[in-house]
């Protein structure tokens, strides 16, 4: 039987108290609240999980007997995996589009760096899709929460803006800082760290060993992306200083040579 409080402790151990609580809200309290027969405040579930009160959570969800609890647990875990995969795919597709557009706007080695990250991000989205298909789990970007001012809204807004025009240098610096933070701390890496323990509950030992290795490789890719972005940022900052913070553009492309 799944223990919300144990899952909560696992996330706080992985991420620390503050970030772990935010991730737990996304993958524990909100999915459980959505599956409940009556309306339940996700924050209330989160507080109970924090205090280790699994029995009270199960009573709120209407899980009175072991068979009902087991059935609900399977549904809960499938919902968690479905939402995590849906969000991971959406994040990777949006970031891939953003990097492709930045590559079109840039030149030289900067364009190559953006193209490289865009290609890997697209591959990651495909891998998450293959995992979902293998598990028989439906993925849909509408399953991924888009909260005002949240990560998804910011990515969608950035994607729309870049599809209309190339960023000026100051704007580009802001975009790079945001993307570096995304690659290093937020988004897809969070979902893979959540997916690994979640997948263990629904897959055989042999299968999860392979998937775990793949997902850990994706995590390393994201860390490498953050490093590449930092190098690009440093290079562009140096170029900006050497030209007196001037911005030169040709054919609407950011001058990064």
β strands within the chain, DSSP E? 249-250, 253-254
Q: What are phi and psi of 250, to 5 degrees?
A: -130, 125
Please indicate, yes or no, whether the overall pTM of this predicted structure exceeds 0.95. no
Q: How many residues make up the chain in this entry? A: 257
Q: Which two tokens stand for residue 174?
A: 């802001």
Q: pLDDT, tens digit, for every residue of 160-216?
A: 999 999 998 888 999 998 888 777 665 555 666 667 777 777 777 778 888 888 888
CB atoms within 10 A of CB 12: 17
Of residues 84 and 115, the one with the higher pLDDT is 115
Q: Is the pLDDT of residue 142 over 60?
A: yes
Q: pLDDT, tens digit, for every residue of 53-105?
A: 777 777 777 654 433 444 445 566 777 788 888 888 998 999 999 999 999 99
Contacts of 131 (CB under 8 A, 6+ apart): 85, 211
Q: How far apart are CA 173 and CA 178, in angstroms?
A: 9
- The pLDDT of residue 188 is 52
- The pLDDT of residue 76 is 66
Q: Is the pLDDT of residue 41 over 70?
A: yes
- The pLDDT of residue 75 is 61
């Amino acid at each position: 039987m799944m223990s919300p409080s144990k899952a909560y402790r696992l996330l706080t151990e992985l991420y620390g108290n503050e970030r772990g609580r935010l991730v737990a809200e996304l993958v524990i309290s909100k999915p459980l609240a959505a599956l409940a027969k009556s309306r339940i405040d996700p924050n209330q579930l989160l507080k109970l999980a924090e205090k280790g009160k699994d029995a009270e959570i199960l009573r709120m969800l209407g899980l009175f007997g072991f068979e009902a609890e087991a059935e609900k647990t399977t549904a809960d875990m499938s919902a968690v995996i479905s939402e995590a995969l849906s969000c991971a795919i959406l994040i990777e597709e949006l970031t891939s589009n953003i990097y492709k557009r930045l590559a079109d706007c840039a030149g030289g080695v900067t364009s190559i760096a953006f193209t490289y990250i865009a290609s890997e991000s697209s591959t990651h989205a495909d891998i998450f899709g293959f995992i979902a298909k293998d598990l028989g789990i439906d993925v849909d970007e509408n399953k991924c929460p888009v909260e005002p001012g949240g990560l998804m809204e910011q990515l969608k807004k950035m994607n729309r803006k870049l599809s209309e025009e190339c960023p000026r240098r100051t704007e580009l610096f802001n975009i790079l800082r945001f993307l570096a933070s995304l690659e290093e701390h937020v988004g897809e890496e969070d979902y893979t760290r959540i997916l690994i323990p979640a997948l263990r509950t629904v897959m055989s030992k042999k299968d999860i060993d392979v998937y775990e290795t793949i997902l850990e490789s994706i995590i390393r890719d994201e860390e490498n992306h953050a490093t590449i972005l930092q190098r690009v940022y440093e290079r562009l900052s140096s170029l900006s200083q050497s030209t007196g913070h001037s911005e030169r553009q040709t054919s609407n492309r950011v001058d990064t040579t």
